[in-house]
Structure 1
Amino acid sequence: MRGERYEGTALDQIVARVSNDAGGLCDPKLRRNVLLIQLRLLSNAFEAGDAAAMDVRLPNVTDAAKQLIACSPSESIGWLALYWAETRTLGFGPKAISYLTQSYAFAPHEMWVQLFRAPLALRAYGFLPEKLKQQTLDDFVDIVDARQLTTAVVIYQAASSSTQAVLLGRMCSQPEEVRLVFRRYAGDRGLTISHPCFPVPSGQRA
């Protein structure tokens, strides 16, 4: 949940132990922990470009998400995990939209879920229904409001150029110092911000 990194073998050992502890019981906390570990293992596989590991990890995420939802249907992270697995295996479609809709319905403003959800949802921003578009933008604004600006810049960088313009527009009401810090962090990642709400500070080149 905090985004900390662990070695894959250790995570496999942890998830095996936690799964055994959960057994056939409906324990939302344990089921959530299993899913979070499986999500991290899947993320590690994607980051490493390990296609074989992805093929193994994706079904594990789907199974863990379904077990969590069967135990506690209001778990937003479970629906989000199904959305991610669906888009990775079968692509973006009505089922993926339904999973994402459920995730927002149960946790519209839960920060730790939003930190997972915003980058996934914003990648599909142009294909989303209007209500989901607004909810994805709300995720981004909440992250900025929480002053998670380094994360906000990473999310911004991963979005399409047209979506980036929309995200910058939603930051127009932010205090000037917040926009300046966002611009600086973006510059540190080699990004150039060009938007009316982000004027170039005096003495600097555009």
Structure 2
Amino acid sequence: MPVPPKKFKAAIFAAVAATTGLAAVATAPAIAHKRAAQTQSPDIVQTAVSTGVHTTLVAAVQAAGLVDTLSSPGPLTVFAPTDTAFAKLPDGTVATLVKPENKGTLQGILTYHAVAGNVSSGDLVKLINKHGGEATIKTVAGGTLTARLAGDKIIITDAKGRATAVTQADVQTSNGVIHVTDGVFLPA
């Protein structure tokens, strides 16, 4: 039975705070404030912090030590799972991944959600059409994702064969673009 999103978020914050020594609730706004002072328009991390639906993703990015990477000049394209997407994972998965001893694994999963460059939904559609209905995308982690269309939706399939829909495309940031997804990608 899925954990209600509010309880799930609270559990993630508690796990991150307990395992990393961070007060995750306090650090997300602090990161956003620090970065806002450095740039006029929000970067990928600031944007994720501001959405209200990427709390788990932000906590995972903090636990993985990837805040600076995702705040760098880029450009990067990030497929950003929502809190609801993370809640679909088996019980205990996220809490286990944010433990310090699993930092490398968590980094691998999160960088599997990133692509070098600014890849818009229009770029994805062009690639899909150019390659006969399916396009392979190389991730920062070195793995691949497969993109295809299902009606007017872009569907991304990970190495494990899990199909995930892009629910909101082309969220522009100062250092790239975010495509919101309804699932979490898992590398092979």
Do these two structures clear the TM 0.5 threshold for a shared fold by scoring above it? no
Larger radius of gyration: 1
Bigger RCO of structures 1 and 2 (CA < 8 A, at least 6 apart) = 2
**TM-score normalised to the size of structure 2?**
0.28
Greater strand share, structure number? 2
